Amino acid sequence: MKILFFSLLLFCSCSSDNEVKAELPAHTGKTLVVYYSYTGNCREIVTTLTGQIEADVLEIQPAEKGLKYEANGYALGTELLNSIKANPNDISSYPAIDPVATSIADYQNIIIVTPLWWSQMAAIMQTYLFQSAAQMAGKHVGMIVSSHSSGISGVVSDAKRLLPNVTWMGDALWINASNHANRASLIEDWLKTLNFSNEETSMDKMYITIGEQTQSVTLVDNVATRALVEKLKQRPVTVTLNSSGGFEIWGALGFSLPISNEQMTAEAGDVILYNGSNICLFYGSNSWSYTRLGKIDGLSESELRTFLKAGESNINVRLALDNMTSIRASLTPDPSPTGEGSIYSINGQRVKNPTKGIYVKDGKKIAL
């Protein structure tokens, strides 16, 4: 009976499943795989996918547990989809999902893995995309759709409606009951067609130095960080910041960056652009309309307070693309008698036969 039902659906479904067009030649940066799975097929797809690429995984869960979407001739699944269809711009039309802590701002690429329900995107995944559309704007997004047999053009349309401002990485991949077992090679081939590489771009790190301490910052990919990186490529920038509000140190950058503001709650460690020309480094939290630049890596809230000199004024902060810690290490005189005149890489490694590039010699940066 079920087979007949899905065979009919397959027969009725449209043929142009792969409408999403590639726009960029290569996709680099951090990747988030976000999925929903009711009967486990999408979960298996995600396991296979994350065996092939490095990615963080986010599972979307319905707020109401134990529901049987397929019971009574798929009555509940149908009801949820009809409610969305009747009022797609109203969040109350979508089934509630569990709160999601993952911040999309930390990722450049997002791969959605979703089941197909009645030739549409499963309602639970629709909720997540509807509520995340603003944060996903500008991201590179790919999609894998799992169905029993129906074609996926309706799911592709749903994705485009829900995420109008993303860059699609390429055509969506359709995995169905007859090729699910073969998913490893399907996914491998699909990733190749996307020209997908999740090696982090060399410019996804910035370094903040305060006093003797340097900390790395993982930058998000947006118009502001791209402009900031261009600025820092010319030379490091030193700014003077002041503590404010019990949650941040902030001050003028001395130049403006393009903004992509969104209402957000900045948390400890966040590096934020405020009003286009001020940088804020957070050791507490505050809600405002900001442009996110990145996050200071690996410091606890109390370590951040110490590093950022919380409560103080006139704090000198150096922003750079190179890591002062390693440069400083290479500026330290070599204890060996042959140290003088030695050449070091920018990472502090002694180099015997330097080729063309930037090095450190006798405490000074040199170009060969």
Ligand X SMILES: Cc1cc2nc3c(=O)[nH]c(=O)nc-3n(C[C@H](O)[C@H](O)[C@H](O)COP(=O)(O)O)c2cc1C
Binding site for ligand X (CB under 6 A): 6, 9, 37-42, 69-70, 74, 77, 115-119, 146-150
CA 196 vs CA 33, 114, 146, 189: distances in Å: 14, 20, 20, 10
Q: How far is the CB of 109 from ligand X (least distance, A)?
A: 21
State which residue, 69 or 290, has the beta carbon closest to ligand X. 69
Instruction: Write the secondary structure of the chain as one string of H (helix), E (strand) and C (coil).
Output: CHHHHHHHHHHHCCCCCCCCCCCCCCECCCEEEEECCCCCHHHHHHHHHHCCCCCEEEECCECCCCCCCCHHHHHHHHHHHHHHHHCCCCHHHCCCECCCCCCHHHCCEEEEEEEEECCEECHHHHHHHHHHHHHHCCCEEEEEEECCCCCCHHHHHHHHHHCCCCEECCCCEEECCCCHHHHHHHHHHHHHHCCECCCCCCCCEEEEEECCEEEEEEECCCHHHHHHHHHHHHCCEEEEEEEECCCEEEEECCCCCCCCCEEEEECCCEEEEECCCEEEEECCCEEEEEEEEEEECCCCHHHHHHHCCCCCCCEEEEEECCCHHHHHHHHCCCCCCCCCCCEEECCCCECCCCCCCEEEECCEEEEC
Q: How far is the CB of 11 from ligand X (least distance, A)?
A: 11
Q: How far is the CB of 79 from ligand X (least distance, A)?
A: 10
State which residue, 26 or 71, has the beta carbon closest to ligand X. 71
State which residue, 180 or 205, has the beta carbon closest to ligand X. 180
CA 358 vs CA 232, 238, 333, 346: distances in Å: 16, 21, 19, 7
Q: How far is the CB of 178 from ligand X (least distance, A)?
A: 11
State which residue, 9 or 329, has the beta carbon closest to ligand X. 9
Q: Using CB atoms, what's the residue nearest to ligand X?
A: 77
Q: How far is the CB of 112 from ligand X (least distance, A)?
A: 12
State which residue, 67 or 252, has the beta carbon closest to ligand X. 67
State the Cα–Cα distance between residues 6 and 118, nearest whole angstrom: 9
Q: How far is the CB of 186 from ligand X (least distance, A)?
A: 14
Residue with tokens 């006139």: 314
Q: How far is the CB of 166 from ligand X (least distance, A)?
A: 22
Q: How far is the CB of 155 from ligand X (least distance, A)?
A: 9
State which residue, 95 or 294, has the beta carbon closest to ligand X. 95
State which residue, 69 or 307, has the beta carbon closest to ligand X. 69
State which residue, 131 or 149, has the beta carbon closest to ligand X. 149
Q: How far is the CB of 62 from ligand X (least distance, A)?
A: 12
State which residue, 69 or 196, has the beta carbon closest to ligand X. 69
